[in-house]
Amino acid sequence: MKKNIKRTTLRSLATLAAAAAICLASIAGRSLMPLSPVPFAIQNMLCILAACILGGAQGAGATGLFILAGGLGLPVFALGNGGIEHLTGQTGGYILGYFIAAAVSGLIAGSPFTFEKKFNIKNWLRILCAALAGYAAVYIPGLLWLRHCILLNPESTFHALLRGQTASEQFSRLMQIGLLPFIYYDILKLTVTVPLSTLARPFAAKILYGSDEEEAAELIESLKKKKAFFDAIHMPHRQKKH
């Protein structure tokens, strides 16, 4: 019982620590990208990083706490913004995308385990796929909501670029203002996310899941011994039949 309480407490603290780190990252995102209504931010990297290290439930939980804090008015979004209007404004889709990205990345990466090898190619490829899927997932709701907000607001600087355009032309314009300016930075974030996640996962697992895995390993070893014992008992009978 005490072990279960300790494990739950440690995992809750890890989720809160990850959420605090994501919130504090707003300090680094205090500049607008040129020719884009979307500001530069590193929160997407930390949301995906938390998910790749801790797993989907805790990564998404940390991201959810960050979004909740911003929605309540704390200045944790890019440019030091906060408030419900930033969730419903033109960058709101990207913020929702952070949560989706954390859930997707964590689902693909899975929960960490202590026996995970840091320099195993399969682990690196799995984390790479998880991170790539996460970074891509940010832009799906982000671009769709950005388009909606721009078309809805005639006073927007970018309204003329989309109004009256065909669907393909709108898509091209959206790529130019809501995706392409961030590709270079996301590639740099990816080169940090993958190695850091892969190296950190065994340490995170040792703290958060170590006792669980030790108990599982002991149970497996016990079952192996019992199987060997019963095999030794029944072996003479099998030999007699032959």
Average pLDDT by stretches of 10, the chain with 242 residues: 70 90 78 78 93 92 95 90 91 96 95 81 94 96 94 88 88 92 94 94 84 48 52 56 54
Beta carbons within 10 angstroms of residue 58's beta carbon? 24
Question: Dihedral angle at the C-alpha atoms of 78, 83, 84, 89, nearest 10 degrees?
Answer: -40
- pLDDT (0 to 100) of residue 133: 97
Residue 147 tokens read as: 């388009």
User: What is the CB neighbour count within 10 angstroms for residue 6?
Assistant: 11
Burial label for 179, CB within 10 Å (0-12, 13-18, 19+), is middle
* Per-residue model confidence (pLDDT) at position 219: 41
pTM of the predicted structure, to 2 decimals: 0.83
Per-residue pLDDT, 146: 94
pLDDT at residue 56 in the model: 85
Side chain identity at 178, as an amino acid letter? G
Which tokens go with 92? 């709101």
Q: Residue 34: its pLDDT value, please? A: 73
Cα 224 from chain centre: 37
Q: Smallest Cα–Cα separation from 30: which of 74, 78, 90?
A: 78
**Separation between Cα atoms, residue 170 and residue 184, nearest integer Å:** 22
Give the pLDDT score at 236. Answer: 56
What are the two backbone dihedrals, phi and then psi, of residue 81, each rounded to the nearest 5 degrees? -90, 165
**pLDDT number for residue 177:** 92
Across the strands, what pairs with 81?
77
- What pLDDT, on a 0 to 100 scale, did the predictor assign at position 230? 52
